[in-house]
Structure 1
């Protein structure tokens, strides 16, 4: 399997055709997986925002005041309001805001970005990333597209690439019922393929000012496995989330 970044992409503006910009720079094969950073999807979809677009309500003022008290730094309640409006649930409200976005992804601050946003204060995640992936896939005439983001992981330091939208590929491949090397039947192994592709793409894409937002994965083979589009755990089977609902930060 080979991964390479699409070179020389310009700063993406609202209304830009990401697929056309990629096609101008790379000769794609039909079975390539094109991994696109959510940042440029959001920019093309006009998901820029300013803090004044989110006048703070009582709940946002409460959250910002508490976070400011914990950190010792003043927090803008308008940012807390933006997080509230982009979320369906606040899972943790201290010492940071961990939320569920409207499309099911769980991350800090609803995934709102405050860096690399020329001319605006905030960049919101795409509203429906899998629909964005499908649109890019059709415009590219490619088989598979993954929209990626970076987020932290429980129990580990640092961030890594994850998939928040995908099209033309199953989110996971199911190894249950297949034998291991000793002939034992696998009972629980379901591999999150789109997350693994997103993480691999993020190694090539890089971070910060030198980042390249589109990576092509070539010669990846899904294999002869059952596939599933279940990606975000439902609340009934997410025991960590259930526990966090009962936990409170003691400061």
Structure 2
């Protein structure tokens, strides 16, 4: 398997045909998987916000005031308002905003970005990353994975994860298969879209790299069952349940 970044992509702007811009620069082959940073998907879909256009509601002002009191840092209630609007649930309101996006991803501040957003204050995640991936998959004829970076509980640092995918299952389901000693596996489900996203992030990087699209060539899913269950439901997420029972009082 090999990975390479698509070269010479321009700054993506609202309305740009991202699929064509990529296809013009690389000869995609059957079996390729294309990992696309959510930032360029969002830019093409016009998912930018100017804070001057935002009016903070009562809840946003309360959330911002509490965060400011706890952290000692100034918090803009308009930013809190945008986070609330992009979230189906605030999993934690302090000492930071841990949210569930409307498509099921748990992340800080609804994944809203302030960097690499020329001409706007904020860049939102795609409204429906899997639908975005499906459009790219249809244009390219190969699987597409929309990626983002986020932290992981119990570890420092960020890594690439998949937030949308199309053209392939999210996971290899090893349940029912056996190990080398013939023992049956009963819990192993391997999130291959996350693994491909993390590998792609080594090339797309962070900051000012300017290489947001990475082609994975030679990946083989193998003869395994597939699963599209990536985001845990609330009923299946013991950590989230514990967090929402715990109240941070500062």
TM-score, length basis structure 2: 0.98
- Aligned-partner Cα distance in 2 for 1:201–1:25: 17
RMSD: 0.8
How far the C-alpha of 1:191 sits from its partner, in A, is 0.3
Partner of 1:160, secondary structure, is strand
Between stretches 74-83 and 240-249, larger displacement belongs to: 240-249
Between stretches 39-48 and 176-185, larger displacement belongs to: 176-185
- Aligned-partner Cα distance in 1 for 2:167–2:155: 31
- Aligned-partner Cα distance in 2 for 1:16–1:181: 50
TM-score, length basis structure 1: 0.98
How far the C-alpha of 1:171 sits from its partner, in A, is 0.6
How far the C-alpha of 1:159 sits from its partner, in A, is 0.5
How far the C-alpha of 1:52 sits from its partner, in A, is 2.4
- For structure 2, list consecutive stretches of 5 or more residues without a partner in the other structure: none
Paired position in structure 1 for 2:164: 165
How far the C-alpha of 1:249 sits from its partner, in A, is 1.5
Could you report, residue by residue, the CA deviation over 1:187-228 in whole angstroms, capped at 9, with x for unpaired residues?
Answer: 100001111110010011111012410000001000011101
How far the C-alpha of 1:29 sits from its partner, in A, is 0.2
- Aligned-partner Cα distance in 1 for 2:200–2:176: 30
Partner of 2:15, secondary structure, is coil
Could you report, residue by residue, the CA deviation over 1:162-200 in whole angstroms, capped at 9, with x for unpaired residues?
Answer: 000000010111011111122211110000111111001
Matches within 5 A, 1:43-122: 43-122=43-122
- Aligned-partner Cα distance in 2 for 1:107–1:73: 21
How far the C-alpha of 1:68 sits from its partner, in A, is 0.9
How far the C-alpha of 1:73 sits from its partner, in A, is 1.3
Paired position in structure 2 for 1:250: 249
Partner of 1:245, secondary structure, is helix
1:8 aligns with 2:8: yes
How far the C-alpha of 1:96 sits from its partner, in A, is 0.4
1:134 aligns with 2:100: no
Equivalent residue pairs, number = 250
Dislocated runs of 4+, deviation >6 Å: none
Paired position in structure 1 for 2:214: 215
Partner of 2:79, secondary structure, is helix
Partner of 1:149, secondary structure, is strand
Paired position in structure 2 for 1:145: 144
- For structure 1, list consecutive stretches of 5 or more residues without a partner in the other structure: none
How far the C-alpha of 1:53 sits from its partner, in A, is 2.6
Partner of 2:156, secondary structure, is strand
- Aligned-partner Cα distance in 2 for 1:195–1:246: 29
Between stretches 52-61 and 117-126, larger displacement belongs to: 52-61
